[in-house]
Chains A and B, each alone.
Chain A
Amino acid sequence: MNASQPADITFLLEGTYPYVAGGVSSWVHQIIRGVPEFTFALVFLGSRRADYGERKYTLPDNVVHLEDHYLYDGNEQPQVRPLQGDKTLFQLVEKLHEQFKLEHAGADMNATVGPLANELGHGLKLDDFLYSRRAWNFIRQQFRTYSTDPSFVDYFWSVRTMHRPIWRLAAIRDRLPPTRVFHTVSTGYAGFLGALAKSRYQRPLILSEHGIYTKERKIDLMSAEWIADNRSAFQRDATQTSYLRDLWIRFFEALGRTCYEAADEITALYEVNRQRQIADGADPARTQNIPNGVDISRLSPLRALRPEETPPVLCLIGRVVPIKDVKTFIRAMRIVVNRLPCAEGWVAGPSEEDPGYAAECRDLVRLLGLEERVKFLGFQNVVDLLPRIGLNVLSSISEALPLVLLEGFAAGVPTVCTNVGSCRQLVEGLDEDDRALGHAGRVVGIADPQALADAATALLADRSAWQAAARAGIARVERYYTQSLMFERFRALYGRTMSGGGG
């Protein structure tokens, strides 16, 4: 890989490929391999180097460049010196903040973001933000006007901490390899970098979201315990979040909106997420759905390998991390085993990402007396695994369009999954034609082990229902969710944006 070799497409990746295994990473890997006529550069953004292990994927040959950046590692500290700050630029900063406060800033926002983005790190340096008199006055005035939290100290440091990575991103932007299209797989920091890069190099930007970054950040921040709330008992209204918490949420919303404004093409995996993107500020005309797809030719031969009798094995294929809610699966297994003593629960996925959570899951197995019935298999090849299981269980609390369900369908394994992301669409169908194919399993509420166990035992105990679900799954995946369909759509998207037809 050449450090400065130009690439057709530069992927901007925050906390994902190639250092983290999972749905988004598999998707990136799949796309890169699926369109070998294009070359790719990868720009990875992480929090700290120590938070990530080795690469989880072997990079395909058409990846010509990879660079890693860690936003919270080795932050350079400019020397303290008194500065005035550029009057015109600070007026633009003020205007931009006013626009962020409005519900919909529209085209006017681009006029503010563009000049400011290009000045970041040049006319508007980190020193100006940290030490200039204008920055201090602006922060002071904003606190006075808007803050409902009485602590200026907490307000000041919150503002400093949250804005600092922006200059890091500007420095990354200045050294990006030459490219024809920027492609970010989330909003957030990567999306903001995409907006900066687009403004600087005048290259199109594609945004492909799996989950909705801003929403996920918001939920994290809502329950984060490190955010101060200095209101006294008399000032506190239990139904209102603290001002600083709101400030953090609005910061990520602003990053998201900047990216939506800048993106020429915005893709979602399914309709609900597309609507969410529009609600968060994306222009409907620039949005479209491109669902995931799987390699049918690799998975369909597995149907012939299945035993005559459906194995009483419920398998959760996924990483052992909180978002997969493995604990609900384990609790459901307690109920299933009470009814079908021969049933087994397999958890097929790596446990290294969150060792603490994995330990909690193993303890829960012990606590519920399931040591003999629930097994942690570690990472498994789905080709070996799928013929040996009876049900593909997904107990996640949040998903987008999980590949693992499609893989199960292609191999003839129905599912019991939670009602998250596009799961209902995958199991029950989207439009009338799709729904006519039948249900490829059952959908239950999140964190409801009872419902999960009821649905699983009902499917396992009723052979004809199981077979009907398997047939529906095969028909649905073959018609709507093939890998070739997905590649064609992305090939067309890249072609269109490169020839200047995006947006």
Chain B
Amino acid sequence: MHRALIVLLGLAALLAEAVALALIADLTGTHIGVGGFFAAHAVASLILGFLVLEVLAERYRRPWQPIVALLAAIAFFVPVLGTIGLVTAVLVVTLLPKASVYRPFANLRPPEYPSAAREGPPQMRMLGLRTSLLDTSLPADVRVKSLVALQNMPPRVAIPILRRLLCDSTDDVRLAAYGIIDAREKRISAAIRDELDRLPTVTEPAARENCLRRLAEEHWELVHSDLAPGDLRRVTIESGLRYLEAALQRADRDTGLWLLKGRFLHAAGDPGGAAQALATAIALGLPESRVLPYLAEIYFDQCRFDDVRRCMNLVAATQRTPRMAPLIRYWAPRTDTA
């Protein structure tokens, strides 16, 4: 199509120029002949302008108006020779193989990929994270960097440290700590909002129970992670317990719900109620090993240390997780060394 257009334009230009030459050859001194020549020559020049524009490289084509004007002017003011020159140029460009091609991308040496990433200067590897964060004598930069590491730690561990940092004397540390706490709280609040929006629309019993359970669990997450400090803790526990009771009304044999109730009541300062809820969970079939650590904690708060020891002996027999190991070592040393 493009080539056909070029040929067509070329023929039109040659035809117009031939007419112009014919007119000038027949010149008898009349004004009409000269005018005709100039008119036909101007048309031929203009067509030639467009013709050359068509074969120009893309990057020389804009803006097209002055380029066409320039080419047409060359053809017009250099009669015959200008036309021949431009036509020759078009023929050369279209018929001969391209001598030079626009190459926007050159070959460059690729970067040397390191086989192993460069080691950064070691920082605080020998120091505990908590120590470096709370040590105000360390440079703020170092402390802010170690704060970032807290983002990957369980909220239960990270939030109390972050809360202490909210009162830090360094602005950067305070703000970074706030940012992390806020992001965690935001995630849980968003989940609560979603469930609350869903609750009035859910009618199917299992789905409704599920919705209530999630609401209770998310409220517990706020309490457990220390994201609801001070008086708000009580408000959050009350709300959480309300949803939990509603869920239990629909599934009163759900051991997970009873376990959660035990934890809520313990957090609310009702160890008796908490122990009873945990006992119900065991009675309904929850493996005792899952309840024992919580039960031990309740007994500890009640200063029933013999009962703590009894629980921990049972824990030692069933769960020797790394996190429980120091507790077992303290409360049930004989079992631990056995």
Interface residues of A (CB under 8 A from B): 79-82, 133, 136-137, 140, 143-144, 146-150, 152, 215, 218-219, 222-223, 231-232, 235, 237-241, 243, 322, 325, 331, 334-335, 338, 360, 363-364, 367-368, 397-398, 419-420, 445-450, 453
Q: Are A450 and B230 in contact (CB under 8 A)?
A: yes
A237 to B179, alpha carbons, bound, how many Å? 21
Is B210's CB within 8 Å of the partner chain A?
A: no
The winner among A238, A239, A363 for most chain B CB atoms within 10 A is A239
Q: Smallest Cβ distance from A241 to chain B, in angstroms?
A: 5
Chain B residues near A397: list those with CB within 8 A.
174-175, 178
Q: Are A239 and B123 in contact (CB under 8 A)?
A: yes
Q: Are A81 and B104 in contact (CB under 8 A)?
A: yes
Tell me whether A338 and B152 are in contact in the complex, defined as CB-CB below 8 angstroms, given that A150-B117, A237-B122, A445-B166 are known contacts: no
Nearest B residue to A448, CB-CB: B166
A100 to B101, alpha carbons, bound, how many Å? 42
Chain B residues near A325: list those with CB within 8 A.
178
Q: Are B193 and A235 in contact (CB under 8 A)?
A: no
Q: List 18 A-B contacts (CB under 8 A).
A: A133-B106, A137-B108, A147-B118, A148-B118, A215-B171, A219-B144, A219-B175, A223-B176, A223-B180, A237-B125, A239-B124, A325-B178, A364-B189, A420-B171, A447-B178, A447-B181, A448-B230, A449-B230
Interface residues of B (CB under 8 A from A): 59, 103-106, 108-109, 111-114, 116-120, 122-125, 129, 132, 144-149, 151-152, 166-167, 171-172, 174-176, 178-183, 186, 189-190, 192-193, 196, 229-232, 235, 239
Q: Are A133 and B232 in contact (CB under 8 A)?
A: no
A159 to B152, alpha carbons, bound, how many Å? 27
Tell me whether A445 and B167 are in contact in the complex, defined as CB-CB below 8 angstroms, given that A79-B104, A82-B104 are known contacts: yes
A99 to B309, alpha carbons, bound, how many Å? 64
A11 to B46, alpha carbons, bound, how many Å? 52
Q: Smallest Cβ distance from B50 to chain A, in angstroms?
A: 24
A152-B113, A237-B123, A367-B239 known; 17 new pairs, CB 8 Å cut-off, are A79-B104, A147-B117, A148-B117, A148-B120, A215-B172, A231-B117, A237-B120, A239-B145, A239-B146, A241-B148, A325-B178, A397-B175, A397-B178, A398-B171, A448-B229, A449-B229, A450-B230
Tell me whether A446 and B176 are in contact in the complex, defined as CB-CB below 8 angstroms, given that A239-B124, A241-B145 are known contacts: no
Q: Are A368 and B111 in contact (CB under 8 A)?
A: no
From the candidates A136, A215, A238, A334, name the one contacting B235 in the complex (CB within 8 A). A334
A81 to B58, alpha carbons, bound, how many Å? 13
Tell me whether A449 and B232 are in contact in the complex, defined as CB-CB below 8 angstroms, given that A140-B109, A219-B176, A360-B189 are known contacts: yes
Nearest A residue to B174, CB-CB: A446
Q: Smallest Cβ distance from A360 to chain B, in angstroms?
A: 7
A450 to B231, alpha carbons, bound, how many Å? 7
Chain B residues near A82: list those with CB within 8 A.
103-106
Q: Are A331 and B232 in contact (CB under 8 A)?
A: yes
Nearest A residue to B175, CB-CB: A219
A234 to B293, alpha carbons, bound, how many Å? 34
Chain A residues near B166: list those with CB within 8 A.
445-448
From the candidates B111, B146, B182, name the one contacting A140 in the complex (CB within 8 A). B111
Q: Smallest Cβ distance from A425 to chain B, in angstroms?
A: 14
Q: Are A450 and B229 in contact (CB under 8 A)?
A: yes
Q: Are B145 and A240 in contact (CB under 8 A)?
A: yes
A147 to B109, alpha carbons, bound, how many Å? 18
Q: Smallest Cβ distance from A36 to chain B, in angstroms?
A: 36
Chain A residues near B112: list those with CB within 8 A.
140, 144
Nearest A residue to B151, CB-CB: A223
Q: Are A367 and B189 in contact (CB under 8 A)?
A: yes
Sorted nearest first, the 8 A-B pairs with minimum C-beta distance are: A450-B230, A80-B104, A238-B149, A150-B117, A82-B106, A148-B120, A140-B111, A335-B231
Chain B residues near A232: list those with CB within 8 A.
117
A363 to B190, alpha carbons, bound, how many Å? 9
Q: Smallest Cβ distance from B110 to chain A, in angstroms?
A: 8
Chain A residues near B193: list those with CB within 8 A.
360, 363, 367
Nearest B residue to A223, CB-CB: B179
Chain A residues near B122: list those with CB within 8 A.
237
Q: Are B120 and A243 in contact (CB under 8 A)?
A: yes
A310 to B124, alpha carbons, bound, how many Å? 53
A148 to B178, alpha carbons, bound, how many Å? 28
A231 to B120, alpha carbons, bound, how many Å? 11
Chain B residues near A445: list those with CB within 8 A.
166-167
A336 to B296, alpha carbons, bound, how many Å? 36
Chain A residues near B118: list those with CB within 8 A.
146-148
Tell me whether A149 and B104 are in contact in the complex, defined as CB-CB below 8 angstroms, given that A140-B111, A322-B182 are known contacts: no
A215 to B178, alpha carbons, bound, how many Å? 15
From the candidates B186, B189, B196, B232, name the one contacting A450 in the complex (CB within 8 A). B232
Q: Are A239 and B125 in contact (CB under 8 A)?
A: yes
Tell me whether A235 and B117 are in contact in the complex, defined as CB-CB below 8 angstroms, given that A223-B180, A450-B231 are known contacts: yes
Q: Are B132 and A239 in contact (CB under 8 A)?
A: yes
Q: Are A222 and B124 in contact (CB under 8 A)?
A: no
Nearest B residue to A218, CB-CB: B172
Q: Smallest Cβ distance from A79 to chain B, in angstroms?
A: 7
Q: Are A335 and B172 in contact (CB under 8 A)?
A: no
Chain B residues near A243: list those with CB within 8 A.
120
Q: Are A240 and B103 in contact (CB under 8 A)?
A: no
Q: Smallest Cβ distance from B146 to chain A, in angstroms?
A: 5
From the candidates A79, A240, A368, A450, name the one contacting B59 in the complex (CB within 8 A). A79
Nearest B residue to A398, CB-CB: B175
A243 to B181, alpha carbons, bound, how many Å? 24
Q: Smallest Cβ distance from B221 to chain A, in angstroms?
A: 14
Chain B residues near A137: list those with CB within 8 A.
108-109
Nearest B residue to A452, CB-CB: B230
From the candidates A136, A223, A237, name the one contacting B108 in the complex (CB within 8 A). A136
Q: Are A219 and B104 in contact (CB under 8 A)?
A: no
A80 to B108, alpha carbons, bound, how many Å? 14
Chain A residues near B120: list those with CB within 8 A.
148, 237, 240, 243
A364 to B176, alpha carbons, bound, how many Å? 23
Tell me whether A360 and B105 are in contact in the complex, defined as CB-CB below 8 angstroms, given that A238-B149, A450-B230 are known contacts: no
Chain B residues near A148: list those with CB within 8 A.
117-120
Chain B residues near A231: list those with CB within 8 A.
117
Chain A residues near B229: list those with CB within 8 A.
448-450
Q: Are B181 and A222 in contact (CB under 8 A)?
A: no
Q: Smallest Cβ distance from B193 to chain A, in angstroms?
A: 5
Nearest A residue to B121, CB-CB: A240
Nearest B residue to A150, CB-CB: B117
Tell me whether A238 and B192 are in contact in the complex, defined as CB-CB below 8 angstroms, given that A79-B59, A360-B186 are known contacts: no
